[in-house]
Structure 1
Amino acid sequence: MIVAVLGTGQRGRDVAQRCVRAGHEVRLRGTDASDVMDRVDEIRRAFNRDLSAGIDGTTGLESAVSGSGIVIDATDGGTDSHREVVAETETMVEDETLIAVSDTSLSVTAVATGLRSPDRAVGLNLVDPPDGAIVEVVIAEQTTAATRDRVTDFVESLDASPVVVRDTPGFAALRLELATIAEAVRMVEDGVAGIRDIDRTFERGDSDRDGPLVRADRHGLETVLTALEDLADRLDERFEPPALLRRKVEDGQRGAVTGEGFYVWEEGTPTAGADPDPDVPTRDSEPEFR
């Protein structure tokens, strides 16, 4: 299948690389020619510079989407920007072409109002890590069962399991991720356990998945804070950011990118908890427990 991926940011790169790995013919479209080719080269390097890897880059929208079976809009911008992108795309593709939006901060239903045939709109989100086993399929109010089934088939072609979710703020994966991170931060605030021990509890000692606090640092604490604020506004106070998270962002401790968040980072690796472990009292060390 020809897959058109719009956007050369990290989301666009991840989507394009996943589709190339699955054997699809990918056309990556961006607005800056140099940036497009840099991204194409990155993806080819991931495949040992195999020039037969099925990806080409372009700055032309029509040359990207013409003849495609699915267009995945991974551009940056708000609802209006995505609505304009998909509306213009629709004029250049066949009636049966699927149009997907890859952005966890947007309502797919709202973006789909820009289409003449909104029944073919759907959300498509790679769940971290982007080469992992799960891909979210977001069903907008306009999405038909036929579109859902075609998109889940496409996801299975990526050697991934489709998770079908309703078009609600944060969808499923992001809501679970943020809820887990927020509770882990509150546990640090409350002195329940040390940072590493909280993460180890989540990992259960043998998981390949990082704990919630190291993942928060990798995401960037400012990004996590903004996402929690957004969900708190659109859902409820369950997602109100913990005070400790706000304080770290205000103090410039923003995670791996700054070298310190909940962990101290060296060369991209967490080396130690940034805050001292709490003194967990025993009965004979704390008079009030006697």
Structure 2
Amino acid sequence: MHDLRVIGVIGAGVMGRGLAQDLAQHGYAVLLTDRSDEILEEAKRAVRHSLRAQMLQQGGGKREGSDAIMARIATSTQLEVLSDADFVIENVTEKWEIKKTIYPVIDRVCPERTVFAANTSAISITRLASLTKRPERVLGMHFMNPVPMKKTVEMIRGYHTAEQTIATAKQLLQGFGKEAVVVADAPGFVSNRVLMLTINEAAFLVQDRVAAPEDVDKIFRECFGHTMGPLATADLIGLDTILYSIEVLYDSFNDDKYRPCPLLKKMVDAGLHGRKNGKGFFNY
């Protein structure tokens, strides 16, 4: 058993802030980093709002509870603060060019014992691990959104990932009420190899005027019993993230079935990223 008290979270976007909240609610000290103070301030506002909404849903709750949770989240624009981290979860944008700049820095900054988990939906864990001198302590942990509500995590074993690293990651997940399904390192893993193809094909249905977005999703909800349709799911994840992920699959497999839908590209170029900025396949 490892002593896991201080958790580094790199990236304060939707996933990072959800992780920071969930970890802090379960008693962990969180070091949340991003490239600007503005992003970090917005993340703290979002977490505080989420906590208050959660407490109201649960029939009230003392304001002090929210403040105590927030006090466990420290923020910084410097990765050097992660020198105190027992475990680091990286959540930056799904682009290799961005992710590859992070790992050599945290490899230098963090203690030798620290495990690195990439919260990625498609990028190779083995490739990320190769940027460090500790590939045996690198794995993938693909969290689902919204993090506090999702109890299962897709855990990815890289080529060099040690069994002890898997055990440590499972220990951390257990500490904030989650469990893992361990899969091999392959492009898209299990969830996104299927999901991104589904979302991309649903976008083609809209582009080809086979059906409107609400009708595509209604079929999946009411005929198959899905909680959300593929296009609402895309809006929740972020259409920019969907596009990055499908592009990784296309590049990895060189298979035309992963060709990104032109409508999806156009929407991302137009700034229609889904829930995070108010408009995607649906309006929010």
**TM-score of the superposed pair, with normalisation by structure 2:** 0.76
1:27 match: secondary structure: strand
1:128 match: secondary structure: coil
Please say if residues 90 and 115 of structure 1, whose CA atoms lie closer than 8 Å, have aligned partners that are also in contact: yes
Number of aligned residue pairs: give it.
Answer: 263
Cα offset for 1:143? 0.3
| Alignment of 1:44 onto 2:48 | yes
Q: How does 1:96-175 map to 2 (within 5 A)?
A: 96-131=113-148, 132-175=150-193
Q: How does 1:136-215 map to 2 (within 5 A)?
A: 136-188=154-206, 195-204=213-222, 209-215=227-233
Which 5+ residue runs of structure 2 have no aligned equivalent?
53-62
Please say if residues 82 and 109 of structure 2, whose CA atoms lie closer than 8 Å, have aligned partners that are also in contact: no
Q: How does 1:38-117 map to 2 (within 5 A)?
A: 38-48=42-52, 50-53=66-69, 54-66=72-84, 68-76=85-93, 78-79=95-96, 81-117=98-134
Which is helix-richer, 1 or 2? 2
Structure 1 counterpart of 2:258, from 211, 220, 239: 239
**TM-score of the superposed pair, with normalisation by structure 1:** 0.75
2:8 match: secondary structure: strand
TM-aligned CA distance change 1:77 to 1:224, over 3 Å: closer
Which amino acid in 2 is paired with 1:174? N
Which amino acid in 2 is paired with 1:128? N
Greater Rg over alpha carbons, structure? 1
TM-aligned CA distance change 1:205 to 1:20, over 3 Å: farther
Cα offset for 1:80? 5.7
The separation in 1 between residues aligned to 2:239 and 2:108, in whole angstroms, is 40
The separation in 2 between residues aligned to 1:79 and 1:218, in whole angstroms, is 22
Please say if residues 88 and 114 of structure 2, whose CA atoms lie closer than 8 Å, have aligned partners that are also in contact: yes
Per-residue CA deviation, residues 2-41 of structure 1 (Å, 9 max, x unaligned), is 1011222333222212212232111112343454344334
The separation in 2 between residues aligned to 1:170 and 1:103, in whole angstroms, is 9
State the identity %. Answer: 27
TM-aligned CA distance change 1:151 to 1:201, over 3 Å: same
TM-aligned CA distance change 1:229 to 1:161, over 3 Å: same
The separation in 1 between residues aligned to 2:106 and 2:280, in whole angstroms, is 41
TM-aligned CA distance change 1:166 to 1:52, over 3 Å: same
Cα offset for 1:120? 0.4
The separation in 2 between residues aligned to 1:78 and 1:197, in whole angstroms, is 32
The separation in 2 between residues aligned to 1:231 and 1:81, in whole angstroms, is 17
Ranked by relative contact order (alpha carbons within 8 Å, sequence separation 6 or more), the top structure is 2
Which amino acid in 2 is paired with 1:116? K
Cα offset for 1:69? 1.9
The separation in 2 between residues aligned to 1:4 and 1:19, in whole angstroms, is 10
The separation in 1 between residues aligned to 2:99 and 2:269, in whole angstroms, is 34
